[in-house]
Chains A and B, each alone.
Chain A
Amino acid sequence: MGSAVFWDLVKDKTIGGFDPRNIVTIMTSPLSGTLVPGASSRTEVQGIGVQSSPIEWFTRSNFGGRFAPMLKYAGWDGIVIEGKADKPVWVDIRNGKVEIRDARHLWGLDTWKTQQEIWKEIGNPEQSTAQRPAVLTIGPAGENLGRVACLIHDAGNASGQGGFGGVWGSKNLKAISVIGTGSIGIADPKGLMGARLWAQEKYAADLNKLDASWYGRFGRKRPQLLFWATHGKARLQACIGCQSGCKERSDTGYGNESTCEETAFYVGYDKWKHGGKQTSATYIAADLLQKYGINAFEASRGLAYILALQRSGVLGYGKKINCALDFRQLGEIEFVDRYLNMISNRKGIGDDFAEGFFRAAKRWGRLEEDLKTGILPYSYWGLPEHGYDPRAEVEWGYGSILGDRDINEHDFNFLYTWPSGAIWAGKTPQPPAEQVVKIVAEKLVPYENDPLMLDFSTDNIYSEHMCKLVAWHRHYTRFWKESVLYCDHRWPEFINSKVPGYRGITGEGEPRFFNAVTGKKLSFLDGMELGRKIWNLDNAIWTLQGRHREMVHFSDYIYNLPYKGYGNFTMYYLPGREQGRWDYIRVNGRCLDRAKFEEFKTQFYKLEGWDTQSGWPKRKTLESLGMRSVADELENHKKLGT
């Protein structure tokens, strides 16, 4: 929906993210606020971002919690932020009543204080509701136009990529608060209850009966997605409507609701400083990311980068790149607070950091060199890599460079984590590669039953089969995960050990829930086709922004340096064929072949029906998807593929 709204409302697609003519869409889905597990809570954010390079792509991000549900209960399907306010404002939504209010007293507050202030200010507007308003806000990082600034909701739900925090800051928008006391109509209430209980019973782990042999994605045995030592006294915490909480709230209040990368951000430094023991610094570092409103990946990869520069003598106090950070304190709370404060408030060299470390390297005259050596691990579009390196797990890298951002879509990572984990533990991975590939391939509609789509051997990673896997991934995520808003932590699920035959919920679950809520008769394939349509519209937008196939390439180190592994990703096994036999094969040690990747692009463009010379959409393709007006617009700008 956000792509379509953007297409219609932003006439000049070549503007930058900070331009007041840029819009930001905050969208719900038909499943928001309902009982659909993993889809109820997500909110989708779109607009021109300010993080990527060389072009600030039209991009997206989403976050969990309860913002989209509350928006729906208030009677709204989405918000479009246009223009720019003259002074800091916040938006107060109470059911149908919307008021733009003065936010000068909130400006400068961190994201947690801002939300609590708004809670206090609103009180209990609808009297008998016991619920608090859902607030989405920026912190100081966003106010200071950081390109690495997030939108934060509750303690730890962040819209990170794209730098939408900075975009809000440029619009003088501090926060949006919403409280709703209405409801969402459900076409088939009994069907929805039945589907939820069916999914829970059949696919989800029962945390009251832990089974050591259980694995799946829909409801993991250990649902926490935390890389730090968990608190002794805490509760599991879930987004609204989700059967499987992945976060915690602790008895110290530290680290509340943080998950994934922010929990990994400082733990290594903390342990290194404190004799291998984790301290509260790890939790507090995550809290600071949330409070300042800073993208955890930028802060994490950036810190590793400047540390490498400091150790090589280039960066430091009085050095060529003057940096006032005292690296002797690395691992302590004081250090991380100073570091994040510098980013947030653009203090000293923090002014460079706030631009994102790709742009910072450029300012320091180091970009080319550091992308060659790989000490700046920014693989695509000036954005930090995710750990799922393009040289190893190619579908992640290909999807990112053919799109607009680090995809952050973990759909196929289990093909690496499960066998690799077993092999690290000295066990034989189960089920065997051939069986897993067969099950997954069955579910890759409309390209089903082509197991070579999942062959990650070096001979196959540039093939037409891999093109289909990347296309499937783009189409699936564009509709089912970014429009219907199934959560990336839980969907899709291909394999589930609880089910005889190991077949996970994907394929059946997505449309079953969707149809119960909406009353439509949408098939999984229908959704895939809608995803293809959205993907094509997005490519049309990028084309008008200035994309050409020549700029669609990875950073140099991806082509020049063999992949050694990184952190937890050291030993990388994926399914593949060796001498005609399926196995989990080790994919470390390879780099991508530049020429072969160019051939891959040509095949991919052909598969999508795009121009192989430019990568631009073609009229025939767009018209077949019902987007003649999009083709006309591209033609007007002389950017229609031929």
Chain B
Amino acid sequence: MVIRKKKKRKGFINPSRRAFLKIMGSAAVGAGISELFSQCIWLNDSVAALLACEGYLLVDTKKCQGCMSCMLACSLVHEGKIGLSQARIQVIQSSFEKFPDDLTIAQCRQCEDPECVKACPSGALHVDRQNGNVRKIDVKKCIGCKACIRACPFVPSRALWSHEDSHALKCDLCVDSPFWNYKGGPEGRQACVEICPLKAIQFTRKMPEQKGDAGYQVNLRGEDWRKLGYPTD
């Protein structure tokens, strides 16, 4: 086993305190290890950290009207085709449940400590340092093992499986969206944010609280929402 060691670098911002990859010899195996290290900053000779993503999606599940336009737009700008299973953001709802438990939004959290990235044996799922450290899949490298889907600690998994193209899918904040008229990624625009008719999805550069869901939920309902007759609490 070959472990690359690098000197501690300077100049990287916001290294995660928790997202340490401790180089313990047996901790990292597989073809993707060299790829993984190239995405790290080194805190000392044996401890590396994945760079934090520079953008996150926050959602207001009480404001969402369940039209799934975000899902359709996501699929469209990435794939040039539309399907719910091609969407990197999932709105899951039941007509028969009571508000607000009738609907949840499962967006990728661009985790500080991304289990999906660490689980990927081929380096397909990586931290894209050219694009704000988005946790992104290079589909050409995806070997279809679904390790990322299994590794994601959230339900449903934020890494999804493309039944049509047999590779994993995951939100890249529209970095790789050939059918989007705008630049994507943390420096650009995200299709789901732009398309949402109610503005129930928000982009932020500030890392949300990683523990639990609360950090990724936001109240985007203002005075006009109350005038419309809906709760703002």
Contacts and interface: CB of A to CB of B under 8 A. Distances in A.
Given A155-B96, A207-B225, A235-B63, A182 B69 contact: no
A256 interface: yes
B179 interface: yes
Contact of A130 (B62, B92, B194): B92
A186 B77 CA distance: 11
B106 to A, nearest CB: 7
B65 interface: yes
30 contacts: A33-B72, A115-B96, A128-B160, A129-B163, A130-B92, A130-B156, A131-B84, A131-B92, A155-B96, A181-B83, A182-B85, A183-B79, A183-B83, A184-B81, A184-B82, A186-B82, A189-B76, A189-B77, A190-B179, A194-B181, A196-B69, A208-B225, A222-B228, A230-B229, A233-B99, A235-B65, A235-B103, A235-B230, A237-B65, A250-B99
Contacts, number: 184
Contact of B66 (A95, A112, A207, A235): A235
Given A182-B164, A183-B82, A207-B224, A251 B98 contact: yes
Interface in A248-271: 249-253, 256-257
A150 to B, nearest CB: 15
Interface residues of B, number: 57
B73 interface: yes
Nearest to A221: B228
B224 A193 contact: no
B96 A112 contact: yes
Given A35-B69, A73-B85, A182-B163, A249 B76 contact: no
Interface of A: 33-35, 40, 66, 69, 73, 95, 112, 115-116, 126-132, 154-156, 180-186, 189-190, 192-194, 196-197, 200, 204, 207-210, 219, 222, 224, 230-245, 249-253, 256-257
Contacts of B72: 33-35, 40, 240-241
A183 B100 contact: no
B23 interface: no
A234 B230 contact: yes
A35 B195 contact: yes
B71 to A, nearest CB: 9
A208 B96 contact: no
A219 B197 contact: yes
B122 interface: no
A403 B161 CA distance: 48
B213 interface: no
Contact of B85 (A129, A189, A193, A245): A129
A130 B230 contact: no
Contacts of B229: 224, 230, 232
B179 A235 contact: no
A180 B85 CA distance: 8
B84 A129 contact: yes
A242 B80 contact: no
Contacts of A131: 84-85, 90, 92
A126 B85 CA distance: 10
Given A116-B96, A232-B229, A235-B230, 17 more contacts: A33-B72, A34-B82, A40-B72, A128-B149, A128-B156, A128-B160, A128-B161, A131-B90, A156-B95, A181-B85, A183-B86, A189-B77, A193-B180, A208-B225, A237-B66, A245-B66, A250-B99
Nearest to A157: B95
B99 A251 contact: yes
B2 interface: no
Interface string B189-223: 00100110111000000000000000000000010
B157 interface: yes
Given A35-B82, A182-B163, A190 B180 contact: yes
B160 to A, nearest CB: 6
Contacts of A241: 67-69, 72
Nearest to A34: B82
Contacts of A115: 96
A208 B198 contact: yes
Contacts of A251: 98-100
Contacts of B195: 35, 193, 196-197, 200
B45 interface: no
B151 to A, nearest CB: 14
Interface in B38-66: 62-66
B110 interface: no
B85 A235 contact: no
A531 B17 CA distance: 64
B94 interface: yes
Contacts of A156: 95
B82 A253 contact: no
Given A73-B85, A183-B83, A208 B69 contact: no
B231 interface: yes
A367 to B, nearest CB: 39
Given A239-B67, A253-B98, A208 B164 contact: no
B75 interface: yes
Among B80, B95, B106, the most chain A Cβ lie within 10 Å of the Cβ of B95
Contact of A33 (B82, B96, B156, B194): B82
B92 to A, nearest CB: 5
Nearest to B66: A237
Given A230-B229, A256-B95, A193 B65 contact: no
B83 to A, nearest CB: 3
A186 B179 CA distance: 11
